[in-house]
Structure 1
Amino acid sequence: MKKLGYLFFAMFSSLMLAACAEQKSEEKEVVTTSANHSDWSYEESTGPEHWGELDPSNLTCVNGSEQSPINVEFPEVKADGNLKETEIHYESTPFTLENNGHTIQANATTESNHIIIEGNEYKLSQFHFHTPSEHQFNGQNYDMELHLVHSDEKGELAVIGLMIQEGNENKLLASMWNELPTEKNAKADSEKYDIDLQALLPEDETTFHYTGSLTTPPCTEEVQWIIYEQPIEMSKEQIEAFRLIFPDNHRPVQPINERDINKNGE
């Protein structure tokens, strides 16, 4: 009888130890997950000033020397007659639409939209929006900014920036704008939206060129930036519809340091 009691006690103790070990393992997992939590935002402790603290992969956000966005001071821009024009090959193609928690993003479903810079082809992967504009012209922000993000075979990036000011309704984006997904990680109701990006571009082809970075973590550098001087327009209602979802999703301007800003069209 004593042996049975001892055996029962031993089995009970083993089960209790296993349960405690499992609980500690779960606690460790929770702590580890919490410690590795590196979600970023545009507000307070996870905002732009703290991006570099959230994850080691974001250190370029604070240590980089060629960060974006920047303030483009027109008197300091260099007119470069030898600057090769960026070849833009856009056409009407379908895009899917999502709210990724940081912006509204339209994802390419084909590889037909592309640009060529100095003979190198960059394919459009997605475009998204910021408010107010991230880049400044002579210290002033526009109402919004559109970024068209491209990459080449090596993964190197090139971004076209379009300033957006309040004006007439942008009919090219109207179908998309009528179904903006308001919830984080939500997709739009329609599967695809046909957008004619070539028609979206400004008539004036004057652009500013400089080497910078992504404007969101991990703030990767060696990004080629092409920013149109002439803004495009969206209606007050369209701008307000975006701001209801993202009241402010812009990164402040960064030091230019020793970089040149070149301008074509002259």
Structure 2
Amino acid sequence: MCECVSRITTPPWVVILLAVHATISRILCLTPAARAQQEIDDESEFSYDCGAENGPENWGKIKEEWAMCGTGRMQSPIDLSDRHAAQAPNLGYLNHSYLPAEASIVNRGHDIAVTFQGGAGSLWINGTAYHLRQVHLHSPSEHHLNGRQYSLEIHMVHLSAENKAAVIGRLYKIGRRDHFRHKLEPYLRRMADMKEKDEKVGVVDPWEARGDGQAYYRYMGSLTTPACDEGVIWTVIKRLPTLLRC
């Protein structure tokens, strides 16, 4: 699921604040978002194939309501570059609290999503609670870090009471086993060739997917699939966990 280079940039609108806490760095940029969980479920309408008629560089031309994909000024994903980061020492630790909850998993074509049926906890940003709705996986990663793309990226999608969005992103590199992905491994393998089939997976603990809250990048961006709605608060964990090679 590659992204065209034209969508992986560090554009001039990005204000990335790099906070330093306990000698560890992180980054910020804030704003609200709409329709965060309404990603397109039918991948046949768009693709990740660079140069294709329905590829990323053409998403904004496919439908009128997707125009933001081509004209938006705050589009995600981006290359998170430390050279463009400004320090923000007062950010503090990432404020989140998660609970195990019943969940189901589905291959939506452009990603595999774990959706929670009950309350799975929340993320707090500037006094606003954003409630965890789903976790989905992209391979390879959508965001780049200092010009490098990684093996996998997990997105934890949260919505506020006003339907504003905040997403935690976590990039993985090849290495030892990750507990969250390892628990879902049997379902991920089974769902690989079963698009749009929903399967219950029992109780899933999102705490295992959250990442290290001491160091993170934060910026204001968009959804990474059509209609590319802007106003999403992105928090990308700076510390890279490792992923066991299959």
- Residue deviations 1:179-221, cap 9 Å, x none? 2212221223xx2233222233334620111100001110010
Partner residue, 1:251: none
| Residues 112 and 195 of structure 1: CA distance in aligned 2, closer, same or farther (over 3 Å) | closer
Write out aligned runs for 1:29-48 (5 A).
39-43=45-49, 44-48=52-56
1:187 equivalent in structure 2:
198
Please, which moves more after superposition, 169-178 or 203-212? 169-178
Q: CA RMSD in A?
A: 1.8
Aligned ranges for residues 165-204 of structure 1 at < 5 Å? Answer: 165-180=173-188, 181=191, 182-188=193-199, 191-203=200-212
**Quick one: percent identity of the two aligned structures?**
29
The residue type equivalent to 2:195 in the other structure is K
- Cα distance in 2 for partners of 1:200, 1:126 equals 11
Of Structure 1 and Structure 2, the greater helix share is in: 1
Per the alignment, residue 257 of structure 1 pairs with none
The separation in 2 between residues aligned to 1:137 and 1:152, in whole angstroms, is 28
SS in 2 for 1:124: strand
Count the aligned residue pairs. 199
| Equivalent residues of 1:176, 1:193 under 8 A apart | no
Deviation of residue 87 (structure 1)? 1.4
State the structure with bigger RCO (CA 8 A, min sep 6), 1 or 2.
Answer: 2
Distance 2:181 2:100 in 1: 12
Residue pair 2:120, 2:133 contacting (<8 A) in 1 also: no
1:220 to 215, 229, 236: 229
Q: Give the TM-score normalised by structure 1.
A: 0.70
- Greater C-alpha radius of gyration: 1
Q: Is the 8 A contact 1:201 1:232 kept in 2?
A: no
Q: Among residues 126, 129, 142, which one is paired with 1:121 in the alignment?
A: 129
Deviation, 1:54, is 1.2
Q: For 2:233, what is the secondary structure of its paired residue? A: strand
Which residue number in structure 2 is paired with residue 248 of structure 1? Answer: none
**Partner residue of 1:235 out of 235, 238, 244:** 244
User: What residue in structure 2 maps to residue 73 of structure 1?
Assistant: 81
Q: CA deviation at 1:38?
A: 7.9
What is the aligned partner in structure 2 of residue 105 from structure 1?
A: 113
* Amino acid paired to 1:143: S
1:51 to 50, 59, 63: 59
8 Å contact 2:101–2:118 — kept in the other structure?
A: yes
CA contact (8 A) 1:175 1:193 kept: no
**Contact preservation (8 Å) 1:204, 1:230:** no
Larger displacement relative to structure 2 (108-117 or 137-146): 108-117
Higher strand share: 2
Structure 1: 5+ residue stretches without partners = 1-36, 238-266
CA offsets, 1:9-34, max 9 Å, x none? xxxxxxxxxxxxxxxxxxxxxxxxxx
- 1:242-257 residue pairs with structure 2 within 5 A? none
**Aligned: 1:82 with 2:82:** no
TM (norm. structure 2) is 0.76
Per-residue deviation, residues 29-64 of structure 1 (Å, max 9, x unmatched):
xxxxxxxx9821213222211111111111000100
Aligned position for 1:25: none
Task: Give distance in 1, aligned partners of 2:87 and 2:202.
Answer: 38
